[in-house]
Amino acid sequence: MTLLLLATAALAAPATAAPPGAADAAVLAGEAAGPAIVPAAAKAITGITTANLRLRTGAGTKYKVINTLPKGTRVKLVSKKSNGWWKVTVGTRTGWVSSAYLTLSTKATTNALGYISRGLTYRDKGPNKSSRVVLTFDDCPKTLTAFDAVLKYAYANNIGLVLAPTGACISSFRSKYGVNIAARARAKGQWVINHSVSHVDLRPLSCAAGAKQLQGSGVLSNYGRPPYGALDGSVECAYATAGMNIWTWNVDTEDWKVKNKALTVSRAINRASAGSTVLMHMQWYGFSPDSIRQIKAGLGKRGLKLCRAYRGSDNTGPISSAPRYLPSSLPC
Ligand SMILES: [Zn+2]
């Protein structure tokens, strides 16, 4: 009973808004109850996680967390310790998980290790083929007020931002404020792309499980940004399955790391060049009217312009609702 309750709580816990590199911050209490005794099936070669579960560097909770494996992840069993911890491989990684939340199977894992790229569109500058700089903001805004302030500023100044909220973020704003932030942003001529449902590293997942993370409550679009920018063949397969192109970035402000407005702004200004895609996050300091105003002014001094809000495919009409499906060449 305790185990069941814990597993349920683990699933219900939000895992949104973790900036790149901070996967552990949103980690769930998968194995918190400690190892339970699971009799090893004689020929079990695969384990399937029954809750969101931590993959660690050693056989115990004192070891460092490598990653959180979402419920339903298939892992390859390597060996088991007497304390009930399994050494497993998942994707290209090897680590340890508690057996308390593993169902054992005799079927082979389906992680798409041998996946060969199908040649889908995937590039750091995405569909921005113009010389204008596009500012992109991932994850989740802190408040609706903060979000609306940026939308209002961008609209008034004819700036087209790219926003990549997680599905969990959209759900939380819907339940908290009764608002669909993706629709709200598009109505102001802003581009909104997918950033998975719950911001997990997609690499350890099977292609099918990865595709599921890109669907459900996630943003419906033809472009998506993988959490942490983490890519491998399995992730490519997931995007192809979900019918989505991958858009990463080529300028990283590391706003989540520096936690400093002036530094975030100056990095966006000084690291950008013509056609750049600049990465920031909605919960950090680049996401405010004043930061964007400073970035616009600073880029202007360097002879660079920001992408404009959507004004039709020929970019001539008044600002109108940006489409879900981005054109292959963004009218920046
Ligand atoms: Zn993110």
Closest to 98 in 3D by CA, of 114, 81, 115: 81
- Structure tokens given for 8: 């349920």
Q: How many Å lie between the centroid of ligand 1 and the Cα of residue 327?
A: 23
What is the DSSP annotation of 234-290? Answer: HHHHHHHHTT-EEE--SEE--HHHH--HHHHHHHHHHH--TT-EEEEETTSTTSSHH
* Arithmetic mean of pLDDT over the chain: 82
Domain spanning 2-105: CATH superfamily: SH3 Domains (2.30.30.40)
Q: Is 173 exposed, middle or buried (0-12, 13-18, 19+ CB in 10 A)?
A: buried
pLDDT of amino acid 165: 98
More reliable by pLDDT, 232 or 229: 229
More reliable by pLDDT, 307 or 243: 307
* Three-state secondary-structure class, residue 131: coil
Q: How many Å lie between the centroid of ligand 1 and the Cα of residue 101?
A: 27
- Structure tokens given for 314: 């020929």
Residue 132 reports pLDDT greater than 90? yes
Q: How many Å lie between the centroid of ligand 1 and the Cα of residue 178?
A: 23
More reliable by pLDDT, 316 or 118: 316
Residue 149 reports pLDDT greater than 50? yes
- Structure tokens given for 206: 């099977």
CB atoms within 10 A of CB 33: 15
pLDDT category at 70 given cuts 50, 70, 90 is low
Average pLDDT, stretch 69-77? 75
Closest to 268 in 3D by CA, of 242, 249, 286, 282: 286
Q: How many Å lie between the centroid of ligand 1 and the Cα of residue 19?
A: 5
Distance of alpha carbon 25 from alpha carbon 298, whole angstroms? 33
Q: How many Å lie between the centroid of ligand 1 and the Cα of residue 104?
A: 32
pLDDT cut 70: percent of the chain above it: 80
Q: pLDDT of 75-124, one tens digit each?
A: 788 899 989 899 988 765 789 999 898 888 776 654 333 222 333 334 67
Distance of alpha carbon 248 from alpha carbon 34, whole angstroms? 38
What is the DSSP annotation of 92-112? Answer: TEEEEEEGGGEEEESSPP---
Distance of alpha carbon 230 from alpha carbon 203, whole angstroms? 7
pLDDT of amino acid 67: 75
- Structure tokens given for 293: 């105003």
The listed CATH number (3.20.20.370, 3.90.1310.10, 3.40.190.10, 3.40.50.2300) that belongs to domain 122-301: 3.20.20.370
- Whether the CB-CB separation of 241 and 211 falls below 8 Å is answered with yes
- Structure tokens given for 300: 């202007």
More reliable by pLDDT, 30 or 6: 6
Q: What is the DSSP letter of 222?
A: S
Of the candidate ranges 97-106, 107-116, 227-236, 248-257, the one whose mean pLDDT is the lowest: 107-116
The sign of the dihedral angle between the CA atoms of 22, 23, 26, 29 is negative
Domain locations along the chain:
2-105, 122-301
Query: Averaging pLDDT over each range in 97-101, 192-196, 328-332, which range is the top one?
Result: 192-196
- Structure tokens given for 301: 């001094």
Please report, as a single letter, which amino acid is at residue 184: R
Q: How many Å lie between the centroid of ligand 1 and the Cα of residue 17?
A: 6
Q: How many Å lie between the centroid of ligand 1 and the Cα of residue 213?
A: 13
Residue 1 reports pLDDT greater than 80? no
Q: How many Å lie between the centroid of ligand 1 and the Cα of residue 154?
A: 21
Average pLDDT, stretch 151-175? 98
